[in-house]
């Protein structure tokens, strides 16, 4: 095993419980009760200047400080009554299931780089690990020099520090690989090769962990690309889906058909966003902070549009429902109409173009609502946070100098699994 050792979480923070509890999310701002986080660990220690671009980080984070920042984020949630579930603990618990172990080991070695001989050797090594050690290997990866019994041509030509199983540093952003719509969970289809295996972990947890027993799965990773950061639940029955760098129009269409057929929504707004690193997801440019208000990147506030998608008839099938597509219309107009409100308030951050670009890059618009008019935000985005406070939104500031190196804010780092209905 890696010298980083098995997964750990702070002893003071609750992990999991087998007691049945509600599951479901119908809005972005209903009082948050339960959330899944992933505390950064050994997988971030795998990042180097040589591989950080490939692994989708803009720098090499100071891991100890990132952990301190994440612990403070988790504490800010628990201090306000939110139950925090840690992904690494959920994973270690499901790895006591032989079926889950078999699925996840097979997914970890499903890599054409390895060849048949090294695939068998890596699978045998992983299958022999205890649940917590296997959880660490699945998240932090397995380097050439850590593999017991390695053999085969691919193994021989590898550098000792090359990865047989690559690490998953983006697990930090738990919003992307699964998202709850109503009482069903969508296991998403991640676009970037470095993130494909994250969905196998969230699928195993959703399928095998007793906490999620019986929850229907709305989407799966074999379908068109769809990422949770692009899915915003604007109001009960109204879903916005960004399409751009990570989510395709086909993924938005598939999700629309499924939420209509299952009675989870009546309207889906499809919102094109620039296919750029700085605007990789819809939630990097806009997030809800009240039942009728969102903070939005000023550079797009006047130009963002949406297509309104509804079902042609009463839907009776997940994937063949006829859709009606109207638009495009200004996003704020289409959203207000779908939400049944007079207008959607966009909080004017009053930013000059340079400051706006800086704070958007630093996830100033990526807030996590804990309740209406209460949101967690990175403390460094001082101008955006001041505008939120002036608009009546209480801001819970958290540090993020190291957490933000993967380009994600409080919403990106959290997957709500239970919010009270509005």
Catalytic residues: 412
The C-alpha angle with vertex 161 and arms to 159 and 166, in degrees rounded to 5, equals 110
Which of 227, 231, 290 lies closest to 265 in space, CA to CA? 231
- Kindly report the three-state secondary structure assignment for every residue of the chain: CCCCCCCCCCCCCCCCCCCCCCCEECCCCCCEEEEEECCCCHHHHCCCCCCCCCCCCCCCCCHHHHHHHHHHHHHHHHCCCCEEEEHHHHHHHHCCCHHHHHHHHHHHCCCCCCHHHHHHHHHHHHHCCCHHHHHHHHHHCEEHHHCCCCCCHHHHHCCCCCEEECCCHHHHCCCCCEEEEECEEEECECCCHHHCCHHHHHHHHHHHCHHHCCCCEEECCCCCCECHHHEEEEECCEEEEEECCCCCHHHHHHHHHHHHHCCCCCEEEEEECCCCHHHCCHHHCEEEEECCEEEECHHHHCCCEEEEEEECCCCCCCCCCCEEEEEEEEHHHHHHHHHCCCCCEEECCCCCHHHHHHHHHCCCCCCEEEECCEEEEECCCHHHHHHHHHCCCEEEEECCCCHHHHCCCCCCCCEEEEECCC
- Which residue, 146, 135, 225, 235, is CA-closest to 182? 235
* All residues at 6 or more sequence positions from 91 whose CB lies less than 8 Å from its CB, including other chains: 7, 135, 138, 139, 201, 204, 205
How many angstroms separate the CA atoms of 54 and 255, rounded? 29
């Amino acid at each position: 095993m890696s010298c980083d050792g098995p997964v750990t979480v702070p002893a003071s923070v609750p992990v999991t419980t087998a007691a049945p509890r509600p599951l479901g999310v119908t809005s972005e701002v209903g009082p948050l009760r339960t959330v899944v986080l992933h505390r950064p660990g050994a997988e971030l220690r795998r990042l180097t200047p040589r591989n950080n671009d490939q692994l989708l980080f803009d720098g090499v984070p100071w891991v100890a400080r990132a952990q301190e920042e994440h612990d403070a984020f988790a504490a800010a949630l628990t201090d306000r009554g939110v139950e925090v579930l840690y992904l690494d603990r959920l994973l270690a618990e499901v790895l006591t299931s032989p079926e889950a172990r078999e699925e996840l080991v097979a997914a970890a070695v499903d890599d054409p780089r390895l060849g048949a001989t090294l695939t068998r050797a890596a699978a045998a090594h992983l299958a022999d690990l205890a649940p917590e050690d296997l959880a660490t290997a699945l998240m932090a990866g397995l380097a050439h020099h850590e593999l017991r019994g390695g053999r085969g041509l691919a193994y021989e030509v590898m550098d000792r520090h090359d990865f047989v199983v690559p690490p998953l540093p983006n697990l930090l952003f738990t919003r992307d690989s699964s998202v709850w719509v109503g009482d069903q969970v969508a296991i998403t289809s991640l676009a970037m090769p470095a993130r494909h295996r994250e969905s196998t972990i969230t699928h195993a947890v959703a399928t095998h962990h007793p906490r999620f027993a019986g929850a229907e799965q709305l989407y799966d990773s074999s379908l068109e690309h769809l990422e949770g950061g692009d899915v915003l639940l604007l109001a009960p029955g109204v879903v916005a889906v960004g399409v751009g760098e990570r989510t395709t129009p086909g993924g938005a269409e598939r999700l629309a058909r499924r939420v209509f057929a299952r009675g989870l929504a009546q309207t889906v707004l499809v919102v094109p966003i620039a296919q750029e690193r700085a605007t990789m997801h819809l939630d990097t440019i806009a997030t809800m902070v009240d039942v009728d208000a969102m903070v939005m990147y000023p550079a797009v506030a006047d130009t963002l549009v949406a297509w309104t998608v509804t079902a042609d008839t009463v839907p009776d099938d997940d994937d063949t429902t006829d859709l009606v597509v109207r638009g495009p219309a200004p996003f704020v107009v289409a959203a207000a109409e779908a939400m049944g409100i007079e207008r959607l308030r966009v909080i004017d951050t009053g930013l000059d173009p340079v400051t706006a670009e800086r704070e958007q890059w630093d996830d100033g618009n990526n807030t996590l609502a804990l309740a209406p008019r209460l949101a967690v935000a990175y403390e460094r985005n001082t101008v955006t946070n001041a505008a939120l406070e002036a608009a009546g939104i209480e801001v819970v500031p958290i540090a993020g100098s190291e957490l933000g190196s993967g380009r994600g804010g409080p919403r990106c780092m959290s997957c709500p699994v239970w919010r009270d209905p509005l």
